[in-house]
Structure 1
């Protein structure tokens, strides 16, 4: 019974921490919170008792994760000894709190979350906080931003009405479900089928680059294997080992990226795509089928052979020669140049994940290290360096093998890194003493990403942003920008029917029937239809106080996110953290002033409820914005400001703190 009571208490206290908690509850009894921590540990014990008969997977075994974190710290300690470096001090609770939130879930803690953590007096609270953060919706949101940047995920495509929304939704769902990185990679590289089918929506990885298969391939090698092959598209790479012939042999694996059965619609499309008919309703309806169904599908699975281009310039082959697929490094995988096959992309995916030695696991482990620690084991992270050639071969080798031991579970891998003492070291403002990598001598100061700044600002403006429902896939049929057949047919249904058509005549008959249905007036007249229950994905305006991961991708050019360096998602990892004048103007005159500083109902001001003295109000503002109480000198400055300006002094304090370097930078 005592165990059950402790578990019930843990659940009660956890609900106080959860989303939507009353803003006026700013303090709870530290002894009660200590009991909460103990109860959490008790829950883990109960779970272990229930699992005693089975062997936990490494990624699910907290004992394994803690042991792995210790091994990483031992490798770092060995590096200190070899360089005669002093061990940095561990950061204080306030610094750790803010760092853990920003790294794990991409935003600052709310006032309530800060006070609850800072007032707990328990040695295990840091580990408990990491557990809490990695299990939250915020982790999914923050990781989605990372994946969208890496994979260049956009909502639409230039020059076509085709949508990447199903693909974006697939990526977000995979992150939410914590799909292992090797499975995630296989799904993308070997994808084929209907772009609107949730089971095959990963084809968006290829169709977002329709007409540019060689560019897609070079990005694939860069993202997943840290191999830069852009130069080899046109000539032998003078700085690397890849020859142009090698690149085309690799491209043969993915050659043949055709739309499913689009040839059946070609005659009809050519008839309607003339200058005279482009304004007709028939053309607008045909565009739905041509762009948003056929244009979002992918047929076959890679032919395994490709012709060399007409400008091929080397003696090892001639322009127009057909070459068979062959991998340029790792275990050799070949395909014949004598016959057309259908499983090239599957073979490429299997080779990338399982036959490139340490390269696949090393690249993703280094990406995760940089994401958590601030700087890669080697830099740039998309230019692979063999473990033995890095500055820290023992550590790099261990991280690569750990990724495999954890079955490519990115959440578990980050969990290990967040549990290390290395992650907790104080900030080091000095540059790394090691060329091309980190010296682990304290975390390097870096400006927050545009998404971290935005998500932190909306936390101050509206409270915990994860209380909002996530963005949903808008699967309505749109003709000329207006929804049609709402509640009667969706894009997945329409796509399935169209792609099942087997002849040109059947396609024409279907199209004529579909035109009649649309013209008959079966358009959206009210929100009562069943399919109107889902909010359209594009309903958020630029000032919507929701997470960056829920907003349009890429953001509009006048949006806060764009001004602060958000990626246009046309190039891998194209975001920037460089300052510019527009950022200053935005902080002084834009969203920050309108929705935060000068808005009495902003969540940051709600934290002042119940505070009876100026000192307490100032303390709460500091904790809300910087996650720490003010220093004595700062308190005196702020008291002087309130004395001089009255209540408007608090707005001035909020404005000053939000525009401070301490707020905009991660320590």
Structure 2
């Protein structure tokens, strides 16, 4: 299917026409195996051969990301559309780019072919094959014991089922690396460091600093039936996690014995969501309604393999697509003073699920707030990656060009953003939810306490109360904004402790 039909198709379309790159990325993400070198030659530092890589890639040899394999259909349609629009006296220049993107979006989808077409490359130089030879699919085995492993049971011999067979093997509970890789990644999320580093390469578990712990976590993941919430609960309730955070930097390559979590800065997404909680109160209620996004996805669908598809039909579909885009944009535009109510988008207070019609009606009443051109929603609801200059981009959001490409490194732009950027000003704005929450109490001391509870999740110390009192005496009502500014610029706010 395509992205409008099945969102998961986007994973393969991301590397459309590059099955070898997609396989290398897949193995790195899901199995903690870095095999990119084996695309071109036997891996120099791991027990991987180029033939093994191609045997795995062969499971995608019967898949294509081009609709019907037709490379020229979109171009033919664009030629006819140009002639129709120009003949009607309209300006094709204004429409061409939008229509071209619309047509090209329907030229890509994941489809199964009847035969496996993957062959060895023209420069293959090893004795186990010749350039151009077809490659039979075969799963890689890490140890001799894998021969009796149920994960390696053949699903089907038909070429059109190869991707299904690969997915079954990849995610099988008994796959030697699947559970271990997930467990290692979640451990790193909690502690700041994986049991095996880097998390993208655990080809040799016994070479990790604590192989017994790594194997224990893999077994625990399987016992919990891959319930990620329960697995994280197990970690977060452990004595190791609840111990005092380690503040000393860990030298590169040095072992870490997990005497406690590492003190570290929040990720860009965590920092942004922390802001959104302060700005919106309940950020989960602000999202584009599912019913609207589903209709938007349908408006994009166009069967360009239909030989009877006319340029006029394409223009009609494109017009409907633009109107749906206008409806999506109409859900944006609420101000800071509109947030903080009890209205829930996509569900009522009791948690019961809205119907599609109720979902769409709710979107007309509750607009997603914006501030200085920024859509105020959780990071997961925003475009990924965000545009340059956005808070998320400045704080190290991954550009999604490389796996785990995000960064927690500090920078001058980050400091400037925290000091006088829009993310800071929307909290100190008097119409913000934070300010309105504070103003529900009248006593200055209670207001300061409300700010500390909101931002720091704790009450102020006696020393902090004294500092706040002096600031209010010096700056008057403006002192509250100064206190907010000071709190969000502390390490306590931006670091995970």
Question: TM-score range with shorter-chain normalisation?
Answer: 0.7 to 0.9
Q: Determine which of 11, 14, 17 is the counterpart of 1:205.
A: 11
Separation (CA, whole Å) in 2 of partners of 1:545 and 1:494: 26
In the other structure, the counterpart of 1:575 is: 406
Q: By how many angstroms is 1:588 displaced?
A: 1.9
Q: Determine which of 609, 614, 630 is the counterpart of 2:439.
A: 609
Q: By how many angstroms is 1:400 displaced?
A: 0.8
Separation (CA, whole Å) in 1 of partners of 2:259 and 2:3: 47
Separation (CA, whole Å) in 2 of partners of 1:274 and 1:656: 61
Separation (CA, whole Å) in 2 of partners of 1:508 and 1:246: 41
Question: Secondary structure in 2 aligned to 1:211?
Answer: coil
Question: Secondary structure in 2 aligned to 1:404?
Answer: helix
Separation (CA, whole Å) in 1 of partners of 2:447 and 2:252: 44
Q: Is the 8 A contact 2:287 2:381 kept in 1?
A: no
Q: Map residues 587-598 of structure 1 onto 2, 5 A cutoff.
A: 587-597=418-428
In the other structure, the counterpart of 1:104 is: none
Q: Does 557-566 or 250-259 show the bigger shift?
A: 250-259
1:31-50 C-alpha deviation (Å, 9 max, x unpaired): xxxxxxxxxxxxxxxxxxxx
Separation (CA, whole Å) in 1 of partners of 2:250 and 2:114: 45
Question: Secondary structure in 2 aligned to 1:601?
Answer: coil
In the other structure, the counterpart of 2:105 is: 292
Q: Is the 8 A contact 2:80 2:311 kept in 1?
A: no
Q: Determine which of 542, 554, 569 is the counterpart of 2:385.
A: 554
Q: By how many angstroms is 1:581 displaced?
A: 1.1
1:570-610 C-alpha deviation (Å, 9 max, x unpaired): 2211111111111111122211342112x112222233335
Question: Do the aligned partners of residues 236 and 355 (structure 1) sit closer, same or farther apart at CA in structure 2, a change above 3 Å counting?
Answer: farther
Separation (CA, whole Å) in 1 of partners of 2:308 and 2:93: 19
5+ long unaligned stretches in structure 1: 1-192, 477-488, 502-506
2:310 is equivalent to residue 498 of structure 1: no
In the other structure, the counterpart of 1:653 is: 483
Q: By how many angstroms is 1:292 displaced?
A: 2.5
Calculate the TM-score normalised by the size of structure 1. Answer: 0.60
In the other structure, the counterpart of 2:340 is: none
2:51 is equivalent to residue 245 of structure 1: yes
2:268 is equivalent to residue 450 of structure 1: yes
User: Structure with the greater relative contact order (CA < 8 A, sep ≥ 6): 1 or 2?
Assistant: 1
2:284 is equivalent to residue 466 of structure 1: yes
2:495 is equivalent to residue 665 of structure 1: yes
In the other structure, the counterpart of 1:196 is: 4
Q: Map residues 227-626 of structure 1 onto 2, 5 A cutoff.
A: 227-259=33-65, 261-263=67-69, 266-267=72-73, 269-270=75-76, 272=78, 279=92, 287=100, 290-295=103-108, 297-300=109-112, 303-304=115-116, 306-330=118-142, 331=146, 341-354=159-172, 357-384=175-202, 386-432=204-250, 438-469=256-287, 472=290, 475=293, 491-492=297-298, 495=301, 498=303, 507-512=306-311, 514-515=313-314, 517=316, 524=323, 542-597=373-428, 599-626=429-456
Q: By how many angstroms is 1:206 displaced?
A: 0.4
Question: Do the aligned partners of residues 539 and 210 (structure 1) sit closer, same or farther apart at CA in structure 2, a change above 3 Å counting?
Answer: farther
Question: Do the aligned partners of residues 594 and 321 (structure 1) sit closer, same or farther apart at CA in structure 2, a change above 3 Å counting?
Answer: same
Separation (CA, whole Å) in 1 of partners of 2:116 and 2:370: 43
Q: Is the 8 A contact 2:183 2:218 kept in 1?
A: yes
Question: Do the aligned partners of residues 545 and 328 (structure 1) sit closer, same or farther apart at CA in structure 2, a change above 3 Å counting?
Answer: same
